[in-house]
Amino acid sequence: MDSTIRSNLSIREVFRAYFELTKPRIVVLLVFTSVTAMVVAANGLPPLALLIPTIIGGTFAAAGSSAINQYIDREMDAKMTRTARRPIPSGRVRPENALLYGMGLVAWSVLILGIFVNWLAAGLAFLGAIYYVVLYTLILKRNTVVNIVIGGGAGAIPTLVGWAAVVNSLSLEAFILFAIVFYWTPPHSWALAILVNKDYAQANVPMMPVARGERATSWQILLYSIQLVLITLLPGLTLLLPSTDMLGWFYLIAALLLGIGMLRMCVLLLQVTDKPTARRVYKYSSAYLAFLFLAMIIDRLILNFF
């Protein structure tokens, strides 16, 4: 039946299926955090000769990792309503083709970053792919309730790639950006897990709501969000240190306001632990990270001139 589906696909539908393999929404967010790290590291807009290959290489790394992830998770995806329509379980892409596609994208990512940027950025991008595919997908996801906690490092590595692309080294500031994405991942992912709790239970994936219950998960979302908000204030608080100015007052105020909103949503979820509220937390957390990093860019690109 799968071969019949594939044979009936138009060229446009084939391209769309392979595009879906890359999880484009996630790719856009990861590349955006990488570009933000570049802007902060460069204290302004980095040269286009550096920015463009970093964006291309970062896109290929994230897209390739996602394709390999879907190859590994194809049987699990087929069991869950949320993922059953993905290209492999729906029969639109052969599993082996998805694997080769993903491996090819990751390989191109390393070459592009290594040749046109620097080999530290290339190595970090490759590390991120290995982290996501091997440590998270193969080892953690199916075996432990802390899969998201440890696995969150994969989504945070693009910040290190962006920083290294500009200065060819890593510093405390780079790891602060890494920590922001790292601590953002559990609350964001657990809110989604509450929404699709039944799917994860059916597929025997020990996400926090499945293993500990939705109430305990709500507490964990709040606790991790508190840590997240405190960490997001660090780049702005460097204004108080001599000879240090990572980000300015605009970012600090934006981080504080966004953080208050995040904590408010988490408290609401603790008071009313249901799927509609979890959906609100999930949507807010998605916008939260995007606006937080946008505030960093505005702070460096616009307010840096005043």
Q: Which residue has the higher pLDDT, 4 or 211?
A: 211
pTM of structure: 0.92
Instruction: Please say whether the beta carbons of 34 and 109 come within 8 A.
Output: no
Q: What is the pLDDT of residues 111-136, one digit of tens each?
A: 999 999 999 999 999 999 999 999 99
Distances (CA, A) of 302 to 32, 99, 249, 250: 18, 43, 12, 10
Inter-axis angle of helices 119-130 and 95-116, to 10 degrees? 160
Interatomic CA distance for residues 90 and 63, integer angstroms? 19
Residue with tokens 């869950």: 80
Residue with tokens 């589906």: 5
Domain limits, the chain? 12-168, 171-306
- Kindly report the average pLDDT of the chain as a whole number: 91
Min mean pLDDT across 62-66, 213-217, 265-269 is at 213-217
The class that CATH gives domain 12-168 is: mainly alpha
- Overall size of the chain counted in residues: 306
- The pLDDT value recorded for residue 305 is 63
What token pair was written down for 89? 């379980």
Instruction: Please say whether the beta carbons of 58 and 114 come within 8 A.
Output: no
- The pLDDT value recorded for residue 45 is 92
Interatomic CA distance for residues 199 and 205, integer angstroms? 9
Min mean pLDDT across 5-9, 64-68, 113-117, 283-287 is at 5-9
How many C-alpha atoms does 111 have within 13 Å on its Cβ side? 6
User: For 194-222, what is the mean pLDDT?
Assistant: 88
Min mean pLDDT across 19-28, 64-73, 74-83, 176-185 is at 74-83
User: For 54-64, what is the mean pLDDT?
Assistant: 98
Interatomic CA distance for residues 78 and 83, integer angstroms? 7
Distances (CA, A) of 147 to 19, 135, 198, 212: 26, 9, 18, 13
DSSP category for residue 306:
-
In the chain, pLDDT over 90 holds for what percent of residues?
74
- The pLDDT value recorded for residue 1 is 47
Q: Which amino acid is at 89?
A: P
Q: How sure is the predictor about 210, in pLDDT bands with cuts at 50, 70 and 90? A: confident
Q: Is 186 exposed, middle or buried (0-12, 13-18, 19+ CB in 10 A)?
A: buried
- The pLDDT value recorded for residue 202 is 82
Residue with tokens 């440590």: 135
Q: How sure is the predictor about 143, in pLDDT bands with cuts at 50, 70 and 90? A: confident
Q: What is the pLDDT of residues 242-287, one digit of tens each?
A: 555 678 889 999 999 999 999 999 999 999 989 999 999 999 999 9
